[in-house]
């Protein structure tokens, strides 16, 4: 077991800061003099080990370092503290205020209009009523899911694949439909079955996620994509017991269940966020920027230089690696188009 | 699709076991007149302490024992406040449920240095009965706590119907003043059942975190303690009916999973346990009225 007092202390500080509403933590001054540029990042939840939010922090820190700007992190713990943190950030008048996720849809519909001189950036979603001083970053998750599907199609022995997803919502279908489409592009007879965790805590119920995965493996499914957030580990346990294989999501999860995870459907939040912050600081404000495979905003671990050393089982299959890279090039070149479930 | 296959029945038992253990705790409290709605929080606390002890010692059985003891202590808060200090048990229980949610998330960061989900190769899960040499259908893939839960139902029925202390506990629940008047220590019985419920919830948490899966994630009880409270109410405080009620929820969950595969929307499958609760309540009410009319 790993006991790290420093980390634990930081976590406790974070928790306190989140309670304060406008607290700050993780300040990284770039120089001796107070820098002219500054970035404030507001998260919808405490960062903790939420890998998605960790990437968000990493991206903002990287951008701040490159720009010589100061960086402050405001962690929220619920919708009320999000609004309080945004108010506190606006009063601090930084160069850019960054909000992560759809949790900012409401507050970013109104606040940017009230403060036309302040620049805002929303990552991974966009407020419906977008003001000219609000820029948005969104991702083509479906392109990465399609690539993972190609791997699943090549590696399934039974011809049956599945997805265990948190909820049956249009957005989450970006991890489902393109995954099956990718598999069928290399093996047309593949059948795909999605199951949903649901229940009272769909994003963190590994027991239900495992039951769902067992339902799939019991029916002969041998490759399952885990899109159940905190429930993913339950899916890995189920495939480990049945001799199947799984896909992780958002970050490299291969090490969480060595030998059982083929690859991961990745979203490079840090890369896209850092690029968007630099654009805004350079004066190119507002608008929606979409990051797909072409922009390096999404991907799979197999595309990385060190794919064979990533701990993911896809590294053991050079022919799969080659095929995935070729399909990636086809998508980037426009030869293959991936249907977006959100566009009907 | 073959719905009635061994793996389906096994899935039903897996889904039922943690709810059943927690519900047994709720039932014995109800018998002695303590309306215990802290099952959800105690279940979560049990799951967390089971994972901590198993991770520290490398032994799943130490984890089970640790969860039982730690949750007994946790239930001591309810017992002290609601029985000794005569606080409203509902209010205390709501507080304990919130405390468990926050405290496990906080301690998780302190002990494991991470939030969200914790798992590790050091973390020992409970063996299955098949691994212990009992390779039979349905029970084989279960942890030993599952047959223990089923035996505890029989034990509870025997205790309540055949033993002096069980009958007295029922007396305490039915008419506390009368029980006190014949010399029973009402507070003593209530302390006893509340603490025993803590032990049962500890076992439920251990089954969830070391049996169903081998990990802890924040809020992983995910409403199972509340389902247990409903099961207690449906059971009319009778252990065998409690088993039926819990199995009903297990079946609803497992059927829901299968129906999803057959094309039923996830939201409808999610509603299954609640629809079943409503139908069961109506049927119980109708049956109750018919019995009264016949009498």
pLDDT in tens, A179-214: 999 999 999 999 999 999 988 778 888 889 999 999
A225 domain-assigned = yes
**Among positive and negative, which fits the CA dihedral B99, B100, B101, B105?**
positive
Give me chain A's average pLDDT, please: 86
A132 & A218 share domain = no
Local confidence band at A7 (pLDDT 50, 70, 90 cut-offs): very low
Q: Whole-angstrom Cα distance, residue B127 to residue B161?
A: 34
CA distance A242 to chain B (A): 12
Token pair 């093996």 is at which residue?
Answer: A187
Same domain as A83, residue A25: yes
Q: Clarify whether residues A119 and A152 are in a common domain.
A: no
Contact B254 A219 (CB under 8 A): no
Q: Are residues A174 and A321 in the same domain?
A: yes
Whether A54 and A127 share a structural domain:
yes
Which residues, at least 6 apart from B54, have a Cβ–Cβ distance to it below 8 Å?
B60, B62, B63, B66, B123, B124, B125, B210
Q: Does a structural domain hold residue A283? A: no
Q: Which of A141-150, A156-165, A206-215 has the lowest mean pLDDT?
A: A206-215
Count CB-CB contacts under 10 A for residue A120: 27
Asked if A97 and A161 sit in the same domain, the reply is no
Q: Based on the domain organization, do A206 and A103 belong to the same domain? A: no
Q: Do A49 and B119 touch (CB under 8 A)?
A: no
pLDDT for A146: 96
pLDDT of A21 > 60? The answer is no
- Domain around A319: 141-266+299-343
| A:241-260 residues touching chain B, CB 8 A cutoff | 256
Run of H or E including A166: none
pTM score above 0.90: no
- Strand (E) or helix (H) holding B228: helix B224-235
Cβ of B218 within 8 Å of Cβ of A230? The answer is yes
- Residues B6-56: tens digit of each pLDDT: 778 888 899 899 999 999 999 999 999 999 999 999 999 999 999 999 999
pLDDT-derived band of residue B295, with 50, 70 and 90 as boundaries?
Answer: low
Q: Note the pLDDT tens digit of each residue in A303-316.
A: 988 777 778 999 88
Alpha helix (H) ranges present in chain A?
Answer: 5-20, 51-67, 79-92, 107-114, 141-155, 177-186, 206-218, 232-242, 269-281, 318-333
Q: Return d(Cα B57, Cα B44) in angstroms, integer.
A: 20
A226 and A259 together in one domain: yes
Q: Which residue of B has its CA nearest to A212?
A: B257
- Please choose, from the candidates B27, B54, B53, B48, the residue with its C-alpha nearest in 3D space to the C-alpha of residue B39: B27
Q: Does residue A36 sit within a domain?
A: yes
* Residue A76 in this model has a pLDDT that exceeds 90: no
Chain B residues with CB-CB distance to A256 below 8 A: 119
Identify the CA nearest to A82 among candidates A97, A102, A103: A103
Q: Are residues A112 and A229 in the same domain?
A: no
A168 touches chain B (CB under 8 A): yes
Give the whole-angstrom CA distance, residue A140 versus residue A133: 23
Question: How many CB pairs lie under 8 A apart between chains A and B?
Answer: 126
Mean of the per-residue pLDDT values of chain B? 89
A75/A221 same-domain check:
no
First to last CA, chain A: 47
Torsions phi, psi for A136 (to 5 deg): -130, 145
What is the number of domains present in chain A?
Answer: 2
- B245/B250 Cα distance (integer angstroms): 9
Q: Do A198 and B55 touch (CB under 8 A)?
A: no
Query: Quick one: pLDDT at residue A264?
Result: 94
Residues A305 and A212 occupy one common structural domain = yes
**Residues A148 and A87 occupy one common structural domain:** no
A residues 261-290 closer than 8 Å to B (CB): none
- A314 domain residue, yes or no: yes
- Provide the shortest C-alpha distance from residue B278 to chain A (in Å): 17
Q: How many residues does chain A have?
A: 344
Question: Considering the domain boundaries, does residue A285 fall inside one?
Answer: no
Q: What is the complex's ipTM, to 2 decimals?
A: 0.74
């Amino acid at each position: 077991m790993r006991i790290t007092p420093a980390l634990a202390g930081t976590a406790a500080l974070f928790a306190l800061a989140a309670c304060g509403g406008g607290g700050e933590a993780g300040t990284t001054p770039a120089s001796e003099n107070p820098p002219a540029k500054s970035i404030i990042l507001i998260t919808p939840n405490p960062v903790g080990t939420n890998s998605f939010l960790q990437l968000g922090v990493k991206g903002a820190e990287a951008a701040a370092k490159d720009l010589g700007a100061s960086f402050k992190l405001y962690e929220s713990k619920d919708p009320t503290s999000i609004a309080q943190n945004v108010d506190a950030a606006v009063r601090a008048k930084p160069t850019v205020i960054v909000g992560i996720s759809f949790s900012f849809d409401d507050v970013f519909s109104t606040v940017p209009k009230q403060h036309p001189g302040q620049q805002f950036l929303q990552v991974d979603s966009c407020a419906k009523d977008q003001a000219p001083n609000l820029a948005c970053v969104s991702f083509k998750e479906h392109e990465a899911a399609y690539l993972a599907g190609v791997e699943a199609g090549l590696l399934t022995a039974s011809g049956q694949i599945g997805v265990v997803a948190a909820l049956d919502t249009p957005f989450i279908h970006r991890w489902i439909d393109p995954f099956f489409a990718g598999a069928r592009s290399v093996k047309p007879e593949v059948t795909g079955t999605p199951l949903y965790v649901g229940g009272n805590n769909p994003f963190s119920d590994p027991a239900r996620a495992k039951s769902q995965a067992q339902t799939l493996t019991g029916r002969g499914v041998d490759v399952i994509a885990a899109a159940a957030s905190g429930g993913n580990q339950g899916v890995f346990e189920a495939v480990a017991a049945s001799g199947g294989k799984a896909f992780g999501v958002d970050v490299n999860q291969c090490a969480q269940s060595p030998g059982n995870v083929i690859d991961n459907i990745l979203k490079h939040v840090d890369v896209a966020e850092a690029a968007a912050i630099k654009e805004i600081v350079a004066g190119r404000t507002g608008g929606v920027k979409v990051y797909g495979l072409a922009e390096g905003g999404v991907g799979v671990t197999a595309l990385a230089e060190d794919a064979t050393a990533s701990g993911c089982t896809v590294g053991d299959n050079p022919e799969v690696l080659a095929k995935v890279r070729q399909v990636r090039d086809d998508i980037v070149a426009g030869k293959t188009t991936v249907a977006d479930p959100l566009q009907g | 699709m073959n719905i009635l296959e061994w793996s389906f029945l096994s899935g039903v038992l897996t889904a039922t076991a943690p709810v059943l253990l927690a519900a047994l705790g709720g039932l014995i409290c109800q018998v002695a007149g303590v309306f215990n709605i802290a099952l959800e929080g105690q279940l979560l606390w049990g799951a967390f302490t089971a994972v901590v002890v198993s991770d520290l010692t490398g032994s799943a059985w130490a984890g089970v024992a640790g969860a039982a003891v730690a949750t007994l202590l946790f239930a001591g808060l309810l017992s002290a406040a609601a029985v000794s200090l005569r606080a409203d048990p509902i209010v205390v229980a709501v507080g304990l449920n919130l405390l468990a949610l926050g405290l496990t998330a906080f301690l998780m960061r302190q002990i494991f240095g991470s939030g969200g989900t914790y798992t590790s190769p050091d973390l020992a899960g409970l063996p299955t009965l098949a691994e212990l040499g009992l390779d039979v259908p349905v029970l084989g893939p279960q942890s030993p706590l599952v047959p223990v839960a089923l035996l505890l139902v029989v034990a509870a029925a025997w205790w309540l119907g055949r033993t002096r202390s069980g009958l007295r506990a029922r007396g305490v629940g039915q008419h506390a003043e009368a029980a006190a008047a014949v010399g029973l220590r009402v507070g003593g019985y209530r302390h006893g059942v509340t603490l025993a419920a803590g032990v049962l919830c500890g076992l439920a948490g251990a089954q969830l975190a070391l049996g169903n899966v081998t990990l802890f994630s924040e809020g992983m009880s995910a409403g199972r303690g509340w389902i247990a409270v409903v099961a207690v109410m449906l059971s009319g405080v009778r252990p065998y009916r409690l088993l039926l009620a819990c199995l009903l929820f297990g079946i609803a969950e497992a059927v829901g999973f299968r129906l999803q595969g057959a094309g039923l929307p996830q939201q409808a499958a999610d509603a299954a346990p609640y629809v079943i609760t409503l139908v069961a309540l109506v049927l119980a009410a109708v049956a109750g009225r018919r019995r009264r009319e016949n009498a």
